Structure 1
Amino acid sequence: MSLRSALLVAGVALAALNLRPAIAGVSPLLDEIMGDVGLSPAGGGAITTVMVVCLGVFGPVTPLLARRIGLDRTLLAGLLVIAAGVAVRGLGGAPLLYLGSALAATAIAVMNVSMPGVVKQHFPDRVNLMTGVYVSCVVAGAALSSALVIPIEHGTGFSWRGVTALLAVPALLAALLWLPQALRRPEAAANGPRPFGAVLRSRVTWYVTALMGLQSLTFYVMLAWLPTIFLEAGLPADQAGYLLSLTNLVQVGTSLAVPVLAGRRASQVPYVVGACLLTVLGYLGVLLAPTTLPWAWMIVLGVGQGAAFALALLIIALRPADPAAVTALSAVAQSVGYVVAALGPLLFGFLREVSGGWTVPLTVGLGVLVVQLVAGWLAGRPATLETR
């Protein structure tokens, strides 16, 4: 591998590491944030909801931005805006908290949509492997941030404001590494993303979109509320945070291996179904016995959710024939999908307030997983997305 290729792989990996800390780093600190800012449980869940809404609402601008300045420069811009957003949200009260979170999430939305196209553009013969690499880095970023924010807070003496602002550092480092790639001549406009018309008319698009949205909803519900669920079940705060980090760490290996294996087959149905069933088992464990073998439930949940996320992104990269079409499908699937997903944390917070416990919210989550199973079956079948 040449030096340029090695730097390109490293740049993709480090950029991907920044796609979740701004979101995942909030969850272990959520009780402290709510107490400091004066938020209700629904208001606390709304932090994640605001971010996931932005992931959906602002994804569609990515094809237009990439067509004008290129995918590589779009990725660089996203990294810089993430750094700005996480710095802003710790500067004041609730308005700046939500504003900074929205700013960071907008940048993440653009990068989410860009990454499958970047992989298709730079690694056309290694889509399976590089999808696994970048998805595992996305998951690793979530795992590291959720595991380290509490120890960093204790070790530095910073409040939640200072700790979350530190998340700007890895984003700036990734931007520095990606800068040489972004300074290269952007790809020709003729190779840019196509209009959405043909993509929107394809049934494949909506199967993939449903899979993306539902697996994201069930993931962000757990990301937002899992530590709180364990806290209310009687586990200490540090253990609750470590359990969340465990399920995210398990996803690292799963999301690296599954695309490599599933991408070799014409149909990804067996993998998608298996991922959904494991997620169901993890939900059941949290619902029925949260303090009995919680580590086992987190491992099962991590395998299921990591595989589902990786498969959704792999299918996005595999179905179209070129980077432009991949970016168009990615924009539709992730934009609509994340708008659907945004309802999850807010709905769970509301159901928790109304019902007074977690039985009703988790039962609703199990119902969502049944629908996800059907969507995954349809999206995983062999198909080609025609965009001409």
Structure 2
Amino acid sequence: MSLRSAVLVVGFVLTALNLRPAIAGVSPLLNEIMRDAGLSPAGGGAITTVMVVCLGVFGPVAPLLASRIGLDRTLLAGLLVIALGVVLRGLDGVAALYVGSALAATAIAVMNVSMPGVVKQHFPARVNLFTGVYVSGVVAGAAAASALVIPVERATGFGWRGVSALLAVPALLAALLWLPQALGKQTLAGGGPRPFRTVLRSRVTWYVTALMGLQSLTFYVMLAWLPTIFVEAGLPADQAGYLLSLTNLVQVGASLAVPVLAGRGPSQVSYVVGACLLTVAGYLGMLLAPTTLPWLWMIVLGVGQGAAFALALLIIALRPADPAAVTALSAVAQSVGYVVAALGPMLFGLLRQVSGGWTAPLLAGLAALAAQTVAGWLAGRPATLGKANL
């Protein structure tokens, strides 16, 4: 491998690692944030909800930026804005908390949509492999954030605000390593009305969008509330954070292996349905016996959620024929999907507040997983979305 190729791959991986810490780092600190800011459970859940709304609303900005400055410079700009957002979130005041979170999430939204196009552009012969690398990097970043924020807080004495601001460091490091790509000649991709008009007319687009939205909803519900569920079941806060980290770490392996296997054939149905059923098993474990073998429930949940996320992004990358079309499909599926997903953490918190326990919220999550299984079966069937028939 040449030095140029090595820098490309390392920069790509480090960029992927920064796509979740700004979100995942909130969950282990949520009780502390709520106490400090005087927020209710619904208000605490709204932090994640605001971020996921931004993931949906601002995703369509990515094709517009990519058509003007290129995918590589779009990613560089996103990394710099993530750094700005997490620093702002660490300042005093509830407004800074929400605005900084929204700013970081807006950058992540643009990068989320851009990454499948980057895979198609830089690694066209290895889409399956680098989709797995990308997704495993995303979940590894989430796992690292959820595992380290509390130990870092205790070691530094900075409090949750200082720990949030420290998340700017890996974003700036990734920006530095991605800089050679951004300074190179840019391939403009993703712009123009044609890709959007054509993807919106395809039924496959809406199957993929439903899968993306429902798997994101069930994922972000766990990302926002999983440690709190275990704490209220009687586990200490640090162990609850480690459980979240475990399920995210398991997702790394699942998201790396599953795309390579699932991409070998035209159909991904069996993989998608299997991932949904494993996620159901994880939810059931938390509902029926949260303190009995919690590590097992987190392993099962992690395999299911990691595989489902990777499969949704693999399908987005495989179906279209070129980076512009991939970016357009990615914008539609992720934008609409994340708007749907944004309802999850807040509604979960409201159900907890109204019902006084976690039974009703977890049953609602199981209902969403049933719908996710149907969407996965439809989205995973063989289909070809070419330039003329997206």
TM-score when normalising by structure 1: 0.99
Aligned to 2:243: 243
Query: Which amino acid is 2:338 matched to?
Result: Y
1:1-388 matched pairs, under 5 angstroms? 1-188=1-188, 194-388=194-388
Query: Which amino acid is 2:56 matched to?
Result: G
Contact 2:66 2:191 survives alignment (8 Å): no
Q: How far, CA to CA, are the matches of 1:189 and 1:283 in structure 2?
A: 40
Query: Which amino acid is 2:30 matched to?
Result: L
Q: CA RMSD of the aligned region, Å?
A: 1.1
Instruction: Write out per-residue CA displacement over residues 8-59 of structure 1, whole angstroms, 9 at most, x where no aligned residue.
Output: 1111100000000000000000000000011000000000000000000000
Deviation at 1:191, TM superposition (A): 8.3
Deviation at 1:2, TM superposition (A): 1.4
Q: How far, CA to CA, are the matches of 2:175 and 2:250 in structure 1?
A: 27
Q: How far, CA to CA, are the matches of 2:335 and 2:46 in structure 1?
A: 18
Q: How far, CA to CA, are the matches of 2:372 and 2:345 in structure 1?
A: 17
Deviation at 1:93, TM superposition (A): 1.3
Deviation at 1:187, TM superposition (A): 1.1
Contact 1:70 1:192 survives alignment (8 Å): no
Q: How far, CA to CA, are the matches of 1:247 and 1:288 in structure 2?
A: 18
Which secondary structure state, in structure 2, belongs to the residue aligned with residue 124 of structure 1?
coil
Q: How far, CA to CA, are the matches of 1:159 and 1:80 in structure 2?
A: 23
Query: Which amino acid is 1:264 matched to?
Result: R
Deviation at 1:386, TM superposition (A): 3.5
Residue correspondences, number: 388
Contact 2:69 2:188 survives alignment (8 Å): no
Instruction: Write out per-residue CA displacement over residues 327-362 of structure 1, whole angstroms, 9 at most, x where no aligned residue.
Output: 000000000000000000000000001100000000
Instruction: Write out per-residue CA displacement over residues 253-292 of structure 1, whole angstroms, 9 at most, x where no aligned residue.
Output: 1100000010111100010010000000000000000000
Contact 1:192 1:324 survives alignment (8 Å): no
Query: Which amino acid is 2:148 matched to?
Result: L
Query: Which amino acid is 1:275 matched to?
Result: A
Query: Which amino acid is 1:293 matched to?
Result: L
Query: Which amino acid is 1:229 matched to?
Result: I
Instruction: Write out per-residue CA displacement over residues 66-88 of structure 1, whole angstroms, 9 at most, x where no aligned residue.
Output: 00000000000000000000000
Q: How far, CA to CA, are the matches of 1:281 and 1:134 in structure 2?
A: 26
Q: How far, CA to CA, are the matches of 1:182 and 1:191 in structure 2?
A: 18
Q: How far, CA to CA, are the matches of 2:153 and 2:171 in structure 1?
A: 19
Contact 1:211 1:312 survives alignment (8 Å): yes
Q: How far, CA to CA, are the matches of 1:387 and 1:184 in structure 2?
A: 27
Change (3 A) 1:190 1:81: closer
Contact 2:72 2:186 survives alignment (8 Å): yes
Deviation at 1:387, TM superposition (A): 4.0
Query: Which amino acid is 2:106 matched to?
Result: T
Unaligned segments of structure 2, at least 5 residues? none
Q: How far, CA to CA, are the matches of 2:274 and 2:218 in structure 1?
A: 15
Q: How far, CA to CA, are the matches of 1:106 and 1:301 in structure 2?
A: 27
Q: How far, CA to CA, are the matches of 2:80 and 2:222 in structure 1?
A: 28
Change (3 A) 1:290 1:190: closer
Q: How far, CA to CA, are the matches of 2:265 and 2:219 in structure 1?
A: 26
Unaligned segments of structure 1, at least 5 residues? none
Deviation at 1:204, TM superposition (A): 0.6
Deviation at 1:195, TM superposition (A): 3.7
Q: How far, CA to CA, are the matches of 1:271 and 1:78 in structure 2?
A: 32
Contact 2:189 2:324 survives alignment (8 Å): no
TM-score when normalising by structure 2: 0.98
Q: How far, CA to CA, are the matches of 1:380 and 1:188 in structure 2?
A: 30
Contact 1:66 1:193 survives alignment (8 Å): no
Q: How far, CA to CA, are the matches of 1:287 and 1:188 in structure 2?
A: 48
Contact 1:76 1:182 survives alignment (8 Å): yes
Contact 2:282 2:301 survives alignment (8 Å): yes
Contact 1:16 1:134 survives alignment (8 Å): yes
Query: Which amino acid is 1:263 matched to?
Result: G
Change (3 A) 1:190 1:39: closer
Q: How far, CA to CA, are the matches of 2:60 and 2:39 in structure 1?
A: 31
